[in-house]
Amino acid sequence: MAGDRTLTTLGWDDITATADRIADEVRADKVPDVLVGVLRGGVVPAVLLAHALGVRTVRAVEVLHTTSDGVDAMKSAAPQVANATSLGILTGADVLLVDDVAGSGDTVARTVELVRTAGAARVRTAIFVVNAGNWRRPQEPGQALTYIGTFVDGWVVFPWEQP
């Protein structure tokens, strides 16, 4: 029932603290050449990380798994890619793929494939929030994802989604 679900609302202080922590982890492992944000929600964290890391090359790609905006939005059977060419050529690049939230893990997995197909030599992932209750990839999130901000069990509302 909708009233029984867990809803986590994050503020800008939460997001900037997460960005700073992830940036420290990334920096310790080597600053990437390129950041790729997953449109739409992953672009805001990607830009925050780009500034924190001093990376000027930021790209975006649209990979959607939800069919609409809003709490408990339905998901399509598989992530839908729009204009994969927006990644450009990533031949030999060290790429950090950034998204705001990972649920099932399908969108991240599909986007990693796209980045590798574009020629990236190294692909790491930074996910600000993992919805552990929805995860269904063969590996646990901590094994499948490189940098994780936090875990929740339920729907997340980010500050850029709030009126």
pLDDT of the chain, 163 residues: tens digit per residue = 344 468 899 999 999 999 999 999 999 999 999 999 998 889 999 999 999 999 999 999 987 655 545 555 556 566 665 777 788 899 999 999 999 999 888 889 889 999 999 999 999 999 999 998 888 888 888 888 999 999 999 889 999 988 7
Q: How far is CA 30 from CA 33, 100, 104, in A?
A: 9, 21, 28
| pLDDT in the model for residue 130 | 95
Helix (H, G, I), strand (E, B) or coil at 19: helix
> 31-161 maps to which CATH number?
3.40.50.2020
Return the closest-CA partner of residue 96 out of 152, 142, 18, 27.
27
**Residue 108: burial class (beta carbons within 10 Å; 0-12, 13-18, 19+):** buried
Residue at 59: amino acid letter: R
| pLDDT in the model for residue 163 | 74
**pTM for the structure as a whole:** 0.86
- Pairing verdict, β 147-152 and 94-102: unpaired
Domain boundaries, given as residue ranges, for the chain? 31-161
| pLDDT in the model for residue 141 | 87
58 Cβ partners below 8 Å, 6+ apart? 34, 35, 36, 37, 46, 47, 50
